[in-house]
């Protein structure tokens, strides 16, 4: 995905080694608490030795930001497309490689997010080196598409097939071991999962299946049996007065989902109705809320593609799939979706406080990243809730094609708190990605219409990879920054 930088060694020679003993965490701010379980993950690998080394060392903040910006610039130049737009505080003019850039902000501190072990490093001043521990979910290698292939324009076909085969072998070796190393699996998965191993990888990363290979068959059998016991016990109550409104809303919402070619198949409609109704009954704190229905689709499509050949995920036909296989896929989809929702359930409780909070955080983050875009939206009275509520409620599924959602979820499942914390930075990068178009719109109605119908129909994995790279750079720059919300 990114070209290696030959001068990385000279940048890193003078950096000090990270101390091996954890440093006591200082009192954190509200945003630091929001980020407390997020672990950084650079898209690094055989082509990205510079970034791998950077994540393992303590660096001067100028070096860090120059490296991140240069990687994005070089990638964009090679692709012949503009870089993702940056705001005034982060935008920098191209300059010779040997010349370090000015700090992006006089008060900006670069600090690693607090890891899962809840240890953190104290923030240094902007002119000092900021301690950065090597991430627990540092990814490997280049991005692959839904079918396990990279953009053919970037590599020759022979080199491409070799690379894909090599990545697929790494996944297969990791998955075949007696106990899968989940941290290593996250590192590999961050930059995309090959299609043949995606179903098993998602089941492991979601926490549905155990790392121990010998325990997996028994776990699958037990969980599938448990799910259909729920069906037998609860599903007939869908027409009871106490539950009929829930079932009716599910029944209305499913035909509105996309892709229509998949959803409107009667077998699929019935499966989705059962999954959503059982989840709602078993989670009375939130019940069924519009938006949850969309979260079923990626799991179902990934798991069904293990049994059928489909050129496009939007045109999956389940008619030839045996009934017993569909039953198992239904149960697997239910449990994996449940695991996802466990981490973001406050998005769907009464008044949806999780979404309200995240939209507010997005607004404040964008005001820090790109004040001009933020001010433009404010001047034209466009409120973030008017377009970003759906981004949080549906995890951008209504904004990008399904194939892109699946690639996005490869990374989300590789990041601790990926569907909540990292998603915030993806949304910020996604908004700033349209900076030029937003600033050109001078009318409230046209501006809002654009933001609610962004032109992503032809996006592919390459676009998602660039979006994720920018999101990670923003998280690296702003997570745990004491002045994160100060202008």
In this structure, is the dihedral angle defined by the CA atoms of residues 460, 462, 464 and 466, taken in order, positive or negative? negative
pLDDT band at 235 (very low <50, low <70, confident <90, very high): very high
Q: Is the pLDDT of residue 212 over 80?
A: yes
pLDDT band at 161 (very low <50, low <70, confident <90, very high): confident
Q: Domain ranges for the chain, please list them.
A: 177-343, 353-479
Q: Is the pLDDT of residue 452 over 70?
A: yes
- The helix/strand/coil state of 179 is strand
What confidence tens digit (pLDDT) does each residue in 374-399 have?
A: 999 999 999 999 999 999 999 999 99
Nearest to 62 by CA among 17, 16, 11: 11
Contact by Cβ (8 Å): 55, 135: yes
What confidence tens digit (pLDDT) does each residue in 337-374 have?
A: 999 999 998 999 999 999 999 999 999 999 999 999 99
pLDDT band at 65 (very low <50, low <70, confident <90, very high): low
Model confidence pTM above 0.85: no
Q: Among 229-243, 307-321, 418-432, whose mean pLDDT is lowest?
A: 307-321
pLDDT band at 164 (very low <50, low <70, confident <90, very high): confident
pLDDT band at 67 (very low <50, low <70, confident <90, very high): low
Q: Is the pLDDT of residue 440 over 60?
A: yes
Q: Whole-number mean pLDDT of the chain? A: 77
Nearest to 62 by CA among 22, 4, 14: 14
What is the widest separation between alpha-carbon atoms in the chain? 71
Per the structure block, which two tokens stand in for 80?
Answer: 């012949």
Per the structure block, which two tokens stand in for 464?
Answer: 């998602």
d(CA 299, CA 332): 8
Q: Top-level CATH class of 353-479?
A: mainly alpha
Per the structure block, which two tokens stand in for 103?
Answer: 């700090």
d(CA 126, CA 49): 25
What confidence tens digit (pLDDT) does each residue in 80-100 have?
A: 544 444 433 334 433 333 333
For residues 72 and 470, which has the higher predicted lDDT (pLDDT)? 470
pLDDT at res. 1: 44
Which burial class, exposed, middle or buried, applies to 60 when counting CB atoms under 10 A from its CB (0-12, 13-18, 19+)? buried
- β-strand 59-60 against 129-130: which pairing, if any? antiparallel
Nearest to 346 by CA among 392, 304, 403: 392
In this structure, is the dihedral angle defined by the CA atoms of residues 394, 395, 399 and 405, taken in order, positive or negative? negative
Beta strands in 198-351 (DSSP E): none
pLDDT band at 314 (very low <50, low <70, confident <90, very high): confident
């Amino acid at each position: 995905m990114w070209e290696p930088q030959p001068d990385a060694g000279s940048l890193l020679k003078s950096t000090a080694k990270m101390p091996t003993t954890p440093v006591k965490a200082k009192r954190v701010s509200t945003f630091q608490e929001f980020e407390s379980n997020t672990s950084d993950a650079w898209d690094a690998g055989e082509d990205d030795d510079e970034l791998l080394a950077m994540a393992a060392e303590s660096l001067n903040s100028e070096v860090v930001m120059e490296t991140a910006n240069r990687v994005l610039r070089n990638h964009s130049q090679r692709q012949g497309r503009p870089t993702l737009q940056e705001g005034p505080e982060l935008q920098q003019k191209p300059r010779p490689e040997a010349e370090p850039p000015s700090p992006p902000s006089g008060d900006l501190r670069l600090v690693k997010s607090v890891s899962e072990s809840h240890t953190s490093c104290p923030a240094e001043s902007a002119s000092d080196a900021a301690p950065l521990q090597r991430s627990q979910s540092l990814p490997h290698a280049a991005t692959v598409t839904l079918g396990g292939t990279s953009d053919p324009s970037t590599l020759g076909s022979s080199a491409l097939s070799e690379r894909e085969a090599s990545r697929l072998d790494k996944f297969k070796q990791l998955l075949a071991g007696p106990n899968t190393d989940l941290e290593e699996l996250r590192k590999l998965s961050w930059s995309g999962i090959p299609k043949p191993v995606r179903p098993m990888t998602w089941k492991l990363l979601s926490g549905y299946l155990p790392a121990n290979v010998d325990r997996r068959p028994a776990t699958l059998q037990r969980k599938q049996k448990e799910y259909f016991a729920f069906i037998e016990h609860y599903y007939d109550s869908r027409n009871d007065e106490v539950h009929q409104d829930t079932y009716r809303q599910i029944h209305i919402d499913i035909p509105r989902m996309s892709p229509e070619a998949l959803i409107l198949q009667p077998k699929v409609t019935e499966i989705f109705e059962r999954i959503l109704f059982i989840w709602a009954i078993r989670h009375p704190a939130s019940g069924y809320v519009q938006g949850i229905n969309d979260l079923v689709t990626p799991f179902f499509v990934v798991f069904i593609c293990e049994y059928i050949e489909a050129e496009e995920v939007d045109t999956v036909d389940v008619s030839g799939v045996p009934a017993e296989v569909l039953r198992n896929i239904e149960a697997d989809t239910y449990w994996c979706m449940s695991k996802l929702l466990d981490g973001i359930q406050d998005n769907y409780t009464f008044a949806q406080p999780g979404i309200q909070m995240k939209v507010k955080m997005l607004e404040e983050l964008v005001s820090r990243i790109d004040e001009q875009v933020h001010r433009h939206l404010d001047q034209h009275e466009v409120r973030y809730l008017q377009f970003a509520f759906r981004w949080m409620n549906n995890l951008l599924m209504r904004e990008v094609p399904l194939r892109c959602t699946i690639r996005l979820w490869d990374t989300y499942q590789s990041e601790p708190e990926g569907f909540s914390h990292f998603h915030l930075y993806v949304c910020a990068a996604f908004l700033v990605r349209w900076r030029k178009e937003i600033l050109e719109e001078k009318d409230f109605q046209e501006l809002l219409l654009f933001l609610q119908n962004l032109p992503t129909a032809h996006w592919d994995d390459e676009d998602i990879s660039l979006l994720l790279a920018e999101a990670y750079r923003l998280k690296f720059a702003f997570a745990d920054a004491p002045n994160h919300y100060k202008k």
